[in-house]
Amino acid sequence: MDILRFVDEEQKRILAEVGSEPARLITTAYYRQAAELSDKCVKRESQARESFTSKADAILLHRFFGPLILVGVVYILYYLSIVKGYQLTHYTWPWLASFRNLVISILPKEGLLFDPVMRSIVLSVVDGLIAVLNYVPIFAILFSLVAILEDTGYVPRMAFIMDRVFRQFGLHGQSMFPMVLGGVVVGGCAVPGIMATRTIKDQRARIATILVIPLLNCLAKTPLHIMLIEMFFREYRPFAIFFISTISLVIALTVSKILSLTVLKSEESAPFLMEMPPYHMPTILGVLQRCWERLWLFFRKIVVVVIPVMVIVFALTSLPGLNTAKRELYLAELDKIVEDFQAAVGDESPYASVVSDDNLTELVRFSKEFDLAKKAARSEAGLKKVHRKFMARDLAFYKLSNRGRFELDGVMETDVEAARISRYYRGFERERKALRSRLRDDTINHSVLGIIGRSFEPITKYAGFDWKVNIALLSSFAAKESSVATLGGIYGLDGGIGLEGQVDAEDLGWTDLHALALMVFMVVFPPCIPTLLAVKMETGKTLWMVFAGLYPVVLGLVLAGLIYTGGNALGLTGIQAMVAFYVLSTLIMLVLAMIHRPNAEALDDWSS
């Protein structure tokens, strides 16, 4: 302790004698020395690169052109990764589909009505995995482009340009880059976004950034948005897409302003001070390395989170299951459907034995595998091969599954009797699927998650969400990627739910206000579990993680309630409500931007 006092006294003595702080004297001497040394030892090369950098900066950081170029860069970034990357997924999807088929082929076979539990669990995990893996091409492009931006030295320039805007909302210029990763327009991922906030020295702005990044359009939210737009806002598609890709930023900026005025008030703020490094040509290796680092985060998310979560969701939606009496009831119904079908075929038909009780299950499996194989075929030739393979496997089954048509000595023939029966068969399949989905509905209805979803209904009904939507939302808390599939599953739309989701509006029984409320709720949807873990890791506080998980629920319910209940009260249509909501949110955002804290000067200050 003596030494501390000694230092203190010495500091005062020097200040009194020399009139300057020791720290100041030391740094001055330090840098004078460094300058002398560097003058002596460093031979300067030509200034070509510096002058190129300053010429480039004259345009890229220009008062008017700078922001325009920035918008252009962000647009190109998303265009290449989302639009082009999405096209790439058409090539990668068949691989994933054949992986799924491979898994199916080694799983226990499905029954007419009840499936083996093992099969259902593994399939739900595989579907969850595939839904996430399907994004890999998009992320690979996005992360590579982002790495190029980083390596060229443009990222600090982005911060410079955005600082004057973001300051108004309690953020920092450096918040821009993490927000690009998190999906400022459409399709990012919050996890690498939150990781990228590490460089922000301003603690208040950093936490604000971390808390609002999950509000942006992460890629997993996109399928649901697209599905709802296609179903309910098809006529207004351009506006609806504009709405969804910008409303998230409007909400994020509003929320960050509110947070920095309230809960983040006491966090430490720091001034803007950044070096603008000379522009560089990125190297391929460096870009690939960074891309891989961020992709790896994404893969880890899959293994650590998606797999266990899909198992848990499966358990919560199927337990405790139906009681024996109920099962008997469903089995009896199935028997009736089977009997009706067999009666329609008739005893005299040569196919009577093909559709007999012993063979029917086989026929159903054959037909389903045939459909799957056809979908997985990548080319015309591949499709032919599939036909040949299944024809060779069982001609009678093949004819019934292919509307009676078959190939004989290189000529297409039609078996009239098989064609007649295949019509009845399709009817039988329809009824069987309807029964299965009723069964699933019933199971979910009485499951743990169903009971929870129903118990939330009194609150969520103001937002227009019934218990089924609640279940879908609860389970997509784990992995939003599955929201479309879950909705499809819960609403009893058997099979055929791709990423675009072929769900019909009538099946859901929704109005466009329902859809809008759900879309806006999805925008402010609580962060997924990997994101929450990232929040905890980066802020170092569990409290922030809890906060990040809870405030979106409240906010989302308020906004969705405003749209659904308010929209209904005013008799608005979906598109009217959309415009009204957009105008209102933008106004609120602009008003908030004008609020300066009493000590606004201190925002840039460091007196503390």
Distances (CA, A) of 217 to 53, 243, 480, 510, 536: 33, 12, 11, 24, 21
Most distant CA atoms of the chain, gap in Å: 118
Q: Which residue has the tokens 């739910």?
A: 497
Decide if residue 45 touches other proteins (CB under 8 A): no
Decide if residue 604 touches other proteins (CB under 8 A): yes
Decide if residue 274 touches other proteins (CB under 8 A): yes
| Stretch of residues binding other proteins (CB under 8 A), selected from 48-56, 214-222, 327-335, 419-427 | 48-56
Measured from the CB atom, is 31 or 242 closer to other proteins? 31
Decide if residue 27 touches other proteins (CB under 8 A): yes
Q: Which two tokens stand for residue 365?
A: 């499996």
Decide if residue 286 touches other proteins (CB under 8 A): no
Amino acid letter for position 550: L
Minimum distance from residue 199 beta carbon to other proteins (Å)? 14
Q: How far apart are CA 135 and CA 130, in angstroms?
A: 9
Minimum distance from residue 36 beta carbon to other proteins (Å)? 12
Measured from the CB atom, is 57 or 333 closer to other proteins? 57
Decide if residue 411 touches other proteins (CB under 8 A): no
Q: Which two tokens stand for residue 105?
A: 């082929």
Among 137, 173, 453, 489, binds other proteins (CB under 8 A): 173
Minimum distance from residue 600 beta carbon to other proteins (Å)? 9
Decide if residue 67 touches other proteins (CB under 8 A): no
Q: Which two tokens stand for residue 252?
A: 């994020």
Minimum distance from residue 32 beta carbon to other proteins (Å)? 7
Decide if residue 415 touches other proteins (CB under 8 A): no
Measured from the CB atom, is 54 or 443 closer to other proteins? 54
> Residue 203: phi, psi to the nearest 5?
-60, -40
The residue count for binding other proteins (CB under 8 A) is 36
Q: Which residue has the tokens 């598609």?
A: 237
> Which bin fits 222, alpha (ψ -120 to 50), beta or left (φ > 0)?
alpha
Binding mask 233-272 for other proteins (x = CB under 8 A): --------------------------------------xx
Q: Please check whether residue 77 is in contact with residue 146, taking contact to mean a CB–CB distance below 8 angstroms.
A: yes
| Stretch of residues binding other proteins (CB under 8 A), selected from 275-283, 330-338, 375-383, 419-427 | 275-283
Q: How far apart are CA 544 and CA 280, in angstroms?
A: 37
Decide if residue 56 touches other proteins (CB under 8 A): no
Decide if residue 24 touches other proteins (CB under 8 A): yes
Nearest Cα to Cα of residue 66 among 173, 210, 148? 173
Based on its alpha-carbon atoms, the radius of gyration of the chain, rounded to whole angstroms, reads: 31
Decide if residue 32 touches other proteins (CB under 8 A): yes
Minimum distance from residue 499 beta carbon to other proteins (Å)? 41
Minimum distance from residue 45 beta carbon to other proteins (Å)? 11
Q: How far apart are CA 169 and CA 255, in angstroms?
A: 9
Q: Please check whether residue 457 is in contact with residue 466, taking contact to mean a CB–CB distance below 8 angstroms.
A: yes
Q: How far apart are CA 405 and CA 398, in angstroms?
A: 9
> Residue 412: phi, psi to the nearest 5?
-75, 130
Q: Please check whether residue 532 is in contact with residue 540, taking contact to mean a CB–CB distance below 8 angstroms.
A: no
Decide if residue 163 touches other proteins (CB under 8 A): yes
Among 12, 18, 30, 459, binds other proteins (CB under 8 A): 30
Q: What sections of 349-456 are H helices per DSSP?
A: 357-376, 380-393, 395-401, 416-445, 448-455
Q: Please check whether residue 61 is in contact with residue 161, taking contact to mean a CB–CB distance below 8 angstroms.
A: yes
| Stretch of residues binding other proteins (CB under 8 A), selected from 51-59, 94-102, 130-138, 310-318 | 51-59
Minimum distance from residue 278 beta carbon to other proteins (Å)? 8
Q: How far apart are CA 492 and CA 439, in angstroms?
A: 9
Among 3, 23, 285, 381, binds other proteins (CB under 8 A): 23
| Stretch of residues binding other proteins (CB under 8 A), selected from 30-38, 206-214, 474-482, 557-565 | 30-38
Distances (CA, A) of 606 to 27, 242, 272, 361: 19, 40, 11, 75
Among 14, 61, 69, 74, binds other proteins (CB under 8 A): 61
Minimum distance from residue 168 beta carbon to other proteins (Å)? 10
Binding interface with other proteins (CB under 8 A):
21, 23-24, 27-28, 30-32, 47, 50, 53-54, 57, 61, 63, 156, 159-160, 163-164, 167, 173, 271-276, 278, 601, 603-608
